[in-house]
Structures are given as C-alpha cells and as structure tokens.
C-alpha cells in the first residue's frame, strides 16, 4: 500500500467525491456538487482542492458559486428531496463568530463551516 500526501482540503474533496448511494442495485454519486461562497469565512484550501478536482476529473464534485447562504441551503435541501435522498449537495458557508461574551458578530463575521443538506 502506498501513501498519498494530500492537504486537508484535498482529502475532504476526494472523500466527498468518493461517496456513493445505492438503491435497487443502482449506484450513483452521493454528492452531486458543492455550493459555496468563498471569501465568506471559508478556507482557501477547500477552494483550491475543488478546482483541482474539477480540472483533474471533470464532474467529480462540481462547485457552484452561491450568492446567498440561506438560498444555498434551501437549494441543497430541495435537491435532496427531489432526488428522494439518493444524492445531495454539500455546502460551504461561514457561521457567525461569537465574541468572548457569546454574542454573534455583525454581517461578514464568519468562521469556516461545512455541511451537507439532509432533507427530512
């Protein structure tokens, strides 16, 4: 077994792209793509890894630029429902930072966060 050196971003993107779902013997990618707003609290390493994945294996985990965090999450949840939870979209968004008193900062004060919409 040989080792491969990867950044954390590359490892996360490869992991997400490798996930599959199966129903009735039909296998398909679990994540159809990834929504994100880079420069909005996300780590640059994930953006670079997504670009490298798209250039190396087109369509493996496609990135879609979003303009609004709430719309991005709603679209990801709607996609999962429409696909009967057989595939979903991952999303990258910032979460509000909290100061030493636990209060949320104003607009634009975000920390890195990632997730996947799981429609109920």
HSE-up (13 A, CA, CB side) for residue 42:
21
List pLDDT tens digits, range 60-118: 889 888 888 888 889 999 999 999 889 999 887 655 556 566 665 554 444 444 455 55
Domain ranges across the chain? 8-116
Pairing of strands 88-96, 31-36: parallel
Give me the helix-helix angle, 44-56 and 8-18, nearest 10°. Answer: 50
94, β-bridge pairs: 112
Mean confidence (pLDDT) of the chain: 80
Give CA angle at 60 (25, 89), nearest 5°: 75
As a whole number of angstroms, the distance between CA 30 and CA 80 comes to: 10
The closest alpha carbon to 30, from 114, 88, 72, belongs to 88
Q: Tokens standing for 82?
A: 């429409």
Total-model pTM = 0.70
């Amino acid at each position: 077994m040989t080792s491969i050196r990867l950044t954390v971003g590359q490892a996360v993107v490869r992991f997400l792209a490798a996930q599959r779902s199966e129903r009735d013997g039909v296998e398909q990618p679990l994540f159809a793509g990834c929504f994100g707003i880079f420069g909005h609290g996300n780590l640059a390493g994930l953006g670079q890894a997504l670009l490298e994945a798209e250039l190396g294996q087109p369509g493996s985990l496609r990135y879609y630029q979003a303009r609004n965090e709430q719309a991005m999450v709603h679209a990801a949840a709607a996609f999962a429902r429409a696909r009967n939870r057989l595939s979903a979209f991952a999303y990258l968004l910032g979460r509000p930072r909290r100061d030493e008193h636990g209060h949320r900062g104003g607009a634009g004060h975000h920390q890195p966060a990632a997730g996947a919409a799981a429609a109920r």
